A = this chain, B = another copy of it.
């Protein structure tokens, strides 16, 4: 993976519905701001972001829940990624 996010940004790859079923999580499809599961593929360095100290809590490989419409989508080698701020990640699923 050669996308290096800046500041407190994180690159994630959405997990398919079947993977979600295996891990036991079913996310309601009718929610207005539908949360989704994804895998973290790259993590920014954190540190001072707009004058605020941010400590990165997620690591590459973490399965995370994030707000669906957060961040910006980019496609790389045919795979779609999302670049979002760590604060848009709600939780790590272990």
Contact = CB atoms under 8 A, between A and B. Distances in A.
Interface string A45-59: 101111111110110
Question: Within the oligomer, what is the number of copies of this chain?
Answer: 7
B45 A57 contact: yes
Interface residues of A, number: 49
B6 A73 contact: no
B77 A4 contact: no
A48 B58 contact: no
Interface of A: 2-7, 9, 11, 24-28, 31, 33, 35, 42, 44-45, 47-55, 57-58, 65, 67, 72-78, 80, 83, 86-87, 89-94
17 contacts: A3-B65, A3-B93, A4-B91, A4-B93, A5-B90, A6-B89, A6-B91, A7-B57, A24-B77, A26-B75, A26-B76, A35-B72, A35-B73, A42-B91, A48-B54, A50-B52, A51-B53
